[in-house]
Amino acid sequence: MSSVYPDPDQPEPVDHFDRLPDSVLLLVFNKIGDVKALGRCCVVSRRFHSLVPQVENVVVRVDCVISDDDCSSSSSSSDKSRALVGPFSNLFRLVFGGIVKPLQALGQFLGPKRSVLNETLNSLSSSSLFVAPGVGDDGEMDHGGVTHHSPTQVLRNFNEIRFLRIELPSGELGIDDGVLLKWRADFGSTLDNCVILGAASVINNGISPEFGFGNGDDNDSIPETFYTNGGLKLRVVWTISSLIAASARHYLLQPIIADHKTLDSLVLTDADGQGVLCMNRDQLEELRVKPLSASSASKRTLVPALNMRLWYAPYLELPDGVVLKGATLVAIRPSEQSASKNEVSDSSWLSNAFEEPYGTAAKMLVKRRTYCLEMNSF
């Protein structure tokens, strides 16, 4: 039996990757961004393991929604796992468990059709969120042979995050097929502004050009049927539900913001593109200095008294031929801020709130007649 030994006269092969400086590797890791991919990079080498925590650009995709019944059956023997679930893991159970009753009361007020939204929230109220597979050994829960981690625990492995994006697996609000509902909210220690774009249905006008909807045949006024056929009531549900979803997301970001003082930007969105919560560096610092006011009814940030402006078009035809039926844009600001904001800044803010083609829809709607509303704190 013979053995093969390396030739001592032959030089060892050069690993050209080792010749790259740390700064170049960090550029690569920042381009990767995804927290699970970065977790896999950690196990490649000791050098990678030491560099990954220095990444500045991190994306966390929360890709697992597990019912509380499943969670309890998989973790009944481990109190530690249940204690370390973290705020994001309990998003639907803690937040929507506290707001289902108010929305049920609202649904009863607005009529039986609105109960569809309440049923959707009820179905979400017994679910928890996890990242799987995650990074690190803390805050994990084993479910069906797969280890799950809360985003709060996963992010504690990073020391220098500047840009953080968290993506939920879906929007919190259940809406009927064909209905358009999108919102964007900016927060500091409380709501700075929120814009909501909705439509009862989206029609591809290019398929049936004979429809000829147009945009200017209604004199820019809201038709009487809008008030009598439930159109206004539906917009009230959209507005309140979007504000509750935004304030719930904001409330649950507290521990992450406290842990990562290097943050310049924080975005919390969802895979459906339903809602986006944004915080810049000044807003993040404001929350650290001035703690948020929590709602006494549920685990969410208190929504202050609001001034709202609404634009409506029965049919809004976009340049690409898509038609929004019952298109509605709602711009929301705290009452104490509204007096200092002018029309020009509002128009710029609204037009940049959504990606195309919905940014164009917002630009078209703000040219129409404006309707003003007010809402008390809740």
Which DSSP symbol is given to 219? T
d(CA 75, CA 278): 34
d(CA 264, CA 56): 10
Residues 121 and 101: beta-carbon distance below 8 Å: no
* Angle ∠(183,284,298) on CA atoms, nearest 5: 60
User: Where would I find the beta strands (DSSP E) of the chain?
Assistant: 57-61, 64-67, 127-130, 140-143, 146-149, 163-168, 180-187, 191-199, 201-204, 265-270, 275-280, 306-317, 322-334, 371-375
pTM of the model: 0.76
Question: What pLDDT digit, counting tens, does each position of 217-240 carry?
Answer: 556 677 777 777 778 888 999 999
- Residue 302 burial by Cβ neighbours in a 10 Å radius (0-12, 13-18, 19+): middle
33: left (phi over 0), alpha (psi -120 to 50) or beta: left
Nearest CA among 239, 103, 97, 111 for reference residue 181 = 239
d(CA 339, CA 335): 8
All residue ranges of the chain with pLDDT < 70 are 1-9, 12, 64-149, 205-220, 338-347
